[in-house]
Structure 1
Amino acid sequence: MMPFCSVCGNLLFVQEAETGKIRLVCRICPLFRNITKTLVNRGEEAWKNVDSTEETCPKCSHPRAYFMQLQTRSADEPMTTFYRCCNHQCSHNWRE
């Protein structure tokens, strides 16, 4: 979700305040909002409940890997496939 200014409707930008806190600021109006919550890197959580396929790990040559597809570029570009080795001692990540 993109944050917009409630006064002028322009896009809000992230800025570090003098106090060291992070806030959203409007470049047109004097409006700002302090950011009180931060996003947590989903890391391991993103790999729960994903399917596996026959894909050889480039690091350990294990024959299976978990995979997920995400749209990382514009809609007219193909999706990016991310892999994680099924060998838990390796767990190498790569993308196609």
Structure 2
Amino acid sequence: MASRKASLTGYDAEIEKLQKQITKAKAERKRYEDGLKQDIGNQYVQLLLLDNPDVDIEQVAKDIKQQVKDKKELLKIEKEEANSAATSPDHQKQN
């Protein structure tokens, strides 16, 4: 792993090489994960079509986007409430 000749420059070059390998591996992992997500989406659509061949795919996409938006908003509100409760004077007295 280390350069044949021990030097700071040699180690720095080896570190840079390893960092490039890490970056490449992360990019490959991301592409693989994106492919899995697409496959999940395709499988979900196939399930919907088995139940209802006349389903409007565009409407399903809009509905799912709205559900994601609503869920994110709900989680944001819950987080704000938890942070607010954690910093309230009543909570501080209990600790």
TM-score under structure 2 length normalisation: 0.23
Specify the structure having the higher radius of gyration (Cα): 2
**Structure with the higher fraction of residues in helix conformation:** 2
**Structure with the higher fraction of residues in strand conformation:** 1
Q: Which has the higher contact order (CA 8 A, sep 6+)?
A: 1
